[in-house]
Structure 1
Amino acid sequence: MKIVIDSGCDLTKEQCLELGVTMLPLKVQLGEKTYLSGVDLTSEEFYDLLDQTEQMPLTSTPSVGEFADTYRKLAETDPEILSIHISSGLSGTYNAAEVAAQQVDASITVLDTLTLSAGTGWQVEAAARAVKAGWGKAKILEMLKQIQAASDTYFTLPDLKYLIAGGRISHLKGLLASLLGIKPIIQVNKTDGKYYDIGKKRSFLKAIQEIPELILKKYGEGAAFRTQIVHASNPEGGEMLRDAMNKVFRCEWVADSLLGPALGAHTGRGMIGLVHAPLAEFPQLP
């Protein structure tokens, strides 16, 4: 079985190679130039460019044709394909992959992870390990369903202008929050894969500290989690969140993930996020 992914899962080239997955990059346009996210533009290069321009970045998905060409090439050696993608509630990537799958004579299953970044990356890693262990597609999909149900993604950010420009939050609501200096805590909803504002604070630091407090209300002190920090070129903020989590919970940490250009185009530099899942609910990986 072959696995196809998009760069919105924020796995590095080295991780993709190790996992044996085929990655189609999302695209980022800055000014007159278009880049392939994570291919010819690294995360740090992107945030540096973003700091140097007043123009808002634009993003786009791989085309239906690019997906179809990739599926056909992979099907030459293995007709069984699992295509895993970031939330259809936030990107058109899943829909493009679905259309392409109908055009190719192969057994292609397209999965909507209903999340993004490291949340999607967890599902990709689990699927790739299962393929190497010889699991069938049905068993893999059942495991991914368990990971989806167990995992939650939260984030906060110092500046809302990129989310507003990208249409990820309403212009009026975002503008009002910006004028009042409010920093939202946002959760990716597991039902529709969209962003929902679940808390607000008057400073970015307080918003970071609020994430463990929200988790505490649901699970109680001392809960054990599989946990990963995601940040947009803000390792210091990541350390603040890690320290706050460690004071309240027992965390098994996955190495930090740097938010890629295509997703960073909607947050700007500084975003701090967290993916977590209760260890008791997270399936045993092969």
Structure 2
Amino acid sequence: MKVAFVTDSGTGLSVKEVEALGCYSVPLQISYDDVSLLENEDINVDGVYKLMQEGKMLKTSLAPVGKIEELFTRLKDEGYEKIFAVPICSGLSGTIDAMQMVAKQVGIDFDYFDNHVTAMVEKYMVVRAKNLYEEGKTLDEIKVILSEICDTTNTLLIPNDLHHLKRGGRLTPLAATLGGLLKIKPILEINKKTNGKIDVLDKVRTMSRALDRTVEIMKKEILDGGTGYSITVAHVVAEEAGKGLIEKYQEVFPNAKYDLIKLVSVVGVHTGLGCLAVQYYKQL
């Protein structure tokens, strides 16, 4: 069966960059005032951060249904019999539902895996799924492996404040009502346990303590000095702090693979300037 592996710009990549990896993608949307822009097509992450620094009130939304329909129709015309999608998680976006609806309209078989997050994990999973299929794994077998990866995955976020997250509705109701968190440093998490929604894991008084606390959390989950793990530190206009955080992690998890990136636009818009994040998973 000819299967197309599909994701979205939550990977941090453009449509062309994803296609270079043998997969397909649709762009999510960034909007402000009466302007709507396609992520990583009309505007890149630096452009988004610049708008944030200018004080623009940005919003995000799923890919235009027309873009999804255009892609799915093209894939069907190219002889693909099934689409397997690993997009941004359902806890953050309605992308999965939209893809299901469009696939039914277009008349192409559709399956998906909800990775309960986005960014580097989303990118890794869609490419891994494609490679596993080419190695002869069935889609059901692939979903089992992706689920095992998901079990090792966590994303911790340390925003400067919760104003952006509260405004965007990306916090769980409990977290959104804890107004006192605006005066301290919250540690947020998004993972399988939170069903892909951003929730409060802990709260401390200083940024230094918050960063130390992430190490304590990770030590309970990452064993063998990080062997087999990928650890990504992401930032929103806080590169030097991100570099320092990687150095801190390298002392504890010397065997892990590390990346320093700018936090993907569709997350950074909601976490705000100065946010630091760490995302980790075991490569299976």
Q: Does 1:247 align with 2:251?
A: yes
Q: Aligned residue for 2:91?
A: 89
Q: 1:217 to 1:143 in 2, by over 3 A?
A: closer
> Which structure 1 segments of 5+ residues have no match?
none
Q: 1:99 to 1:233 in 2, by over 3 A?
A: same
- Output the CA distance in 2 between the equivalents of 1:172 and 1:159: 12
- Output the CA distance in 1 between the equivalents of 2:148 and 2:131: 15
Q: Deviations over 1:238-286 (max 9, x none)?
A: 21221121121234224333223222211122221112234xxx41xxx
Q: 1:251 to 1:30 in 2, by over 3 A?
A: farther
Q: 2:113 aligns to what SS in structure 1? A: strand
Q: Aligned residue for 2:73?
A: 72
Q: What is the Cα deviation at residue 235 of structure 1?
A: 1.8
- Output the CA distance in 1 between the equivalents of 2:21 and 2:83: 15
Q: What is the Cα deviation at residue 68 of structure 1?
A: 2.8
Q: Aligned residue for 1:199?
A: 202
- Output the CA distance in 1 between the equivalents of 2:102 and 2:248: 44
Please show how residues 33-112 of structure 1 align to structure 2 within 5 Å: 33-53=35-55, 55-77=56-78, 78-112=80-114
- Output the CA distance in 2 between the equivalents of 1:3 and 1:241: 34
Q: What is the Cα deviation at residue 82 of structure 1?
A: 1.0
Which residue among 138, 157, 179 is the counterpart of 1:155? 157
- Output the CA distance in 2 between the equivalents of 1:172 and 1:21: 36
Which residue among 3, 6, 26 is the counterpart of 1:4? 6
- Output the CA distance in 1 between the equivalents of 2:223 and 2:130: 33
> Which structure 2 segments of 5+ residues have no match?
none
- Output the CA distance in 2 between the equivalents of 1:4 and 1:222: 33
Which residue among 273, 276, 279 is the counterpart of 1:275? 279
Q: Which moved more, 1:183-192 or 1:123-132?
A: 123-132
Which residue among 117, 125, 130 is the counterpart of 1:123? 125
Q: Deviations over 1:148-192 (max 9, x none)?
A: 1222111211132111110122585353211x2x11111113041
**Percent of paired sites with the same residue:** 26
| Stretches (4+) displaced over 6 A | none
For the aligned residues, what is the CA RMSD?
2.3
